[in-house]
Each structure stands twice: as C-alpha cells, then as structure tokens.
Amino acid sequence: MKTLILLLLLFFSLTNPTFAQEDFHLSNDSDTAFWYAYKNNYARQFKLGFIENDTNAYSFRFWSSGLVIKIVGKTNQNFGEIIRFVEAYPKKKNKKVFTKHYPITSSQASKIRHLIDSLQIETLPSDKNIKGWDHGFDGIEYFTEFKRNGLYTFKNYWTPTAQDTLKEAKLFQNFVSSLSNILDLKNNGKLFQDDIPFDSWTYPGSASAILRVKQKPK
C-alpha cells in the first residue's frame, strides 16, 4: 500500500513540479525527489503557506504527522507557532479538515533557535545522503525547512529511532525530543484532540485512524 502511495506521489510531483512561487534559491543539499511535492500538497490542503516565499530574515519549519512547528526571526526577536491538523475519517468526496494554531512565546522560539544551532540541524544532511540510513514502509517521516537570506533548504528523515548505530540519527532524535520538551507537545496534543470536531480522524502522514471514545451517560 505504501509503495502505491509513493508511486502516486512521484507521479503527482512530476506532473506538478512545484506549488510554491519561484521566489527563492534552492540550496545544493536539499532533497526534493518527491517529498517536497508531498509537503507542498499538505501546505496547500491545510492552508499552511510556503516559507519559501517568507520575507523574514530567518524562517524554520519542522514537520511530523499532522504537526508543523514554525519559527521566525526578525532582527533581535524570535517568535513562532505550533500548527496541528487532521482529516475526518472515513474520507468522503467533500473532505473535512480541521486546523488549529497555537502561539509559541518569544522565549520558547529563542530556545529552539539555540537548539537548532547547537545541534547544527541546519547543516545535517538529508537522510538519503547519510550512509547507512535505512528506510521502511512504516515509521514516521520528518521534514525540515530553512529559509535564510533568500536561500531555501528542504530535507527529510525517516524514523531516526530505527537507525540504531548512526550518530546523525541519534542527534536528530535528540532534536525531536528536545522540541517536544520545550513546547510541551504532549499536553498540546491532548488540548488539540479535545477540540477536534470529528468522531474519528487521521493525522496526515499516519496510516492509522483514531476513534473518539464516547462516555456512556450515567
């Protein structure tokens, strides 16, 4: 099933090479085989915008299943937001989606920028350029985007926890865990689920559906 999805995404990316405006320079180490088109599709579907066209001095986005973390820097100030999004399940012709934005404080944004710099996430190669990085049909795909002074970088990482011996995978997993701690993503995720207006839903990028358990009236 996942192979079929990837083939469809590849076809979609070839027939629709870009969804963002051509207002940026792509870095040489970017990975745009077809995950870039996949990301752009979700950016359009959930109206998340394209940081490729941001005019800020610094922009960063982190993607996971149904989750985007965006950090923006202007002069001496950093700010950002957490964006969560789901699709109603089962999917119907008129697809229903739900998106919610949560502000990130300036202090949290500054901590994340320091984390990015200290772990050198911006210069970490995309997984296909890391020798020994395995790929599979399950797991989770992470994306990172950077836009700095007109230069845009896009990279992806498949399930770093499955790469037992790679220092790069351990470094990236450390980054993911630290992001979660800084932003208390576990509690944020619970708050989001409470607000989802559907009885069942899927997180884009995940193969499973979630059913809300209704309490029986007393």
Q: What is the pLDDT of residue 6?
A: 41
Across 159-167, average pLDDT: 94
Read off the pLDDT of residues 62-82 as tens digits, 9 standing for 90 and up: 999 999 999 999 878 899 999
Q: What percent of the chain has pLDDT over 70?
A: 85
Can you read off the two tokens belonging to residue 121? 């996430």
Q: What is the pLDDT of residue 27?
A: 67
Across 69-83, 105-119, 177-191, least confident range: 69-83
- Which of the four pLDDT bands, split at 50, 70 and 90, describes residue 209? confident
Q: Residue 68: what residue type? A: V
1 or 140: which carries more pLDDT confidence?
Answer: 140
Whole-angstrom distance, CA of residue 155 vs CA of residue 175: 14
Whole-angstrom distance, CA of residue 6 vs CA of residue 17: 15
Across 81-93, average pLDDT: 90
- Which of the four pLDDT bands, split at 50, 70 and 90, describes residue 93? confident
Average pLDDT taken over every residue of the chain: 86
Q: Does the model's pTM come out above 0.75?
A: yes
In DSSP notation, the chain reads -HHHHHHHHHHHHHHS--SS-S-SEE-TT---SSHHHHHHHHHHHTT---GGG--SSEEEEEEETTEEEEEEEETTEEEEEEEEEEEESS--SS--EEEEEEEE-HHHHHHHHHHHHHHTGGGSPPGGGSTT----SSS-EEEEEEEETTEEEEEEEE-GGG-TT-HHHHHHHHHHHHHHHHHTHHHHHHHHHHH---SEEE-TT-S-EEEPPPPPP-
Q: What is the pLDDT of residue 145?
A: 96
Task: Assess whether pLDDT exceeds 60 at residue 18.
Answer: no
Task: Assess whether pLDDT exceeds 80 at residue 14.
Answer: no
Can you read off the two tokens belonging to residue 30? 């970017």
Length of the chain: 218
Task: Assess whether pLDDT exceeds 60 at residue 4.
Answer: no
Rg (CA), the chain: 18
Domains of the chain, CATH where assigned: 2-85+97-185 (3.30.1560)
